Structure 1
Amino acid sequence: MAASSVDITSSEDFEKFIDTTGNSLVVVHFSADWAPQCKQMNDVLDELTKDTRFINVRFVKLEAESAPEVSEKFGISAVPVFVFLRGKKEVDRLNGANAPELTKKVEHHASVAATALPAPEEDITVRLRKLINAAPVMLFMKGNPQEPRCGFSRQIVDILNQHGVQYSTFDILSDQTVRQELKTFSDWPTYPQLYANGELLGGLDIVKELVETGELESQLPKAEKLEDRLKSLINKDKIMLFMKGNREQPRCGFSKQMIAVLQDAGVKYSTFDILEDEAVRQGLKKYSEWPTYPQLYVNGELIGGLDIVKELKESGELESTLQG
């Protein structure tokens, strides 16, 4: 399981959140809804949360105007601004929309934190389990699928690609702690290591044997086509809302407003928390050709996001639209 970002819309909620972070690295994006560059950088932030190297980094999206006390405290006079915190103290910041520099700073401070504060034995065990279960099929290798850093890793990547296996990877060269501790955890001394549903299959030799015996596919979880899954979710109920959080605890201001509109309309609807499933979160944006959340569907058809729903309400068309 990778890191996740938190949407915060008030100074009070920010302070409560910071009290829970201890000495973890926290990256706060001070943003504004009206600024297109902030939306672009939020997409960058979402990509960083999927990087398993940053599993212990806490990412925060904070509306600067909705938390004036916090903005004043950190001297925010323009957006976007990224403030790096550890132990509630600022250790760095980045002004402006500069994706490469943001990635570079996160990499630097995450590696500094890992070096300066080695995790206790039980913590590394928890982290390894999270990494192993980050995807149905996880490959721990040297490098990445685009640039394998050893011949064995290159061969196993070729095999998985040739067999159309959907898998995620972790570069053990990027984290010396994971590289050493996973050998002990798995009782397997070499890399690459391939896991399926949290269980170790083995290294390159084992995978080759499974290919030769025709058993590879049976050892791997059968992946449901994402498009089929999306269609199933969209048609799960007559009115489906894909949002951040749920109706009891919306995790962003837009989702909260959408819930309020639907409740005022007095309709029955179901929700899906896109923060709980990264494949759905990214896949639905492409499937619907709608880049943001929340997304509202009626009878399997996309109505749109919050702005569209508000327009329908103002024009008096919302009720008939929700009735399909």
Structure 2
Amino acid sequence: MEQDHKSYPIGFAFIDAEGVAEVSAAHSIAAAPTLIYFKGGKEVDRVDGYKPSDIERKLTQHSFDIATTAPPASTGIKEDLNTRLKKLIESHRLMLFMKGSPDNPKCDRMFYIIHFTCFTFYVFGFSKQMVGLLNDINADFGSFDILSNEEVRQGLKTYSNWPTFPQLYLDGELIGGLDVFREEMQDSDFVAKLPKKQANDLNSRLKSLINSHKLMLFMKGDRHQPQCGFSRQIIELLNGAGADYGTFDILKDEEVRQGLKTYSNWPTYPQLYLNGELLGGLDVVRAEMADEGFVSSLPKRS
């Protein structure tokens, strides 16, 4: 929470329940963690135990209560900002305001939860989860990085009366945040009305990428800086065989990363293709490298 504490007009204090047992007793602490919400020095709400959805919901609820007492902004400035926000929201049928971008979502919020003996940190990548849900259904959506514009970030909270991010809009109307969207995803009618990417367009792009080199490797990172052990090992195998190959960094394009899993019915990376056909991942390539006929069929560096 400390990472984005300005998103909530609420102060936070953390107490070691075991170290100050008298405080725990005074507030009837019976579970770890316990979060107590105070207003005007009096307890107004609490969450007993680790219940992320309740924590988020009640933070939002009490933030609303405080935000409604804030002084209004200048009318002229507010109208100009509202016009801009409306245009941004309506720039795509399905529009996501998030931290980061779909290809590089940022970690949204860190909750500091109190245990009796120590502090424990629970991290929720809300923007990353939202993007994942949208990609899972092949949704066609636009996005705006609120970290790049503080005026939009703060203005949208008031404009839509929703103080947290990500925020998802459909046809100019707020759907909500991650929890709301996850619930809506259980409704097949709701999913059906969301705009979808044209599968044929994506498949054409994937086919073009696969065939851009006779031997093509889809990996994490590139041949000079592999970003995982599997990618590094397959690079070593190909280099050891003197192979001439192209590479594509799936970490830089989430659409390709997710689409290729379905296109080739192969859920993991790296993926190696020869003459437009999938060979497989690291284990398959390692086994094939024991076959001299296979090695001789690979294009070689001149």
- Structure ID, larger Rg: 2
Higher helix residue share: 1
TM-score by length of 1: 0.37
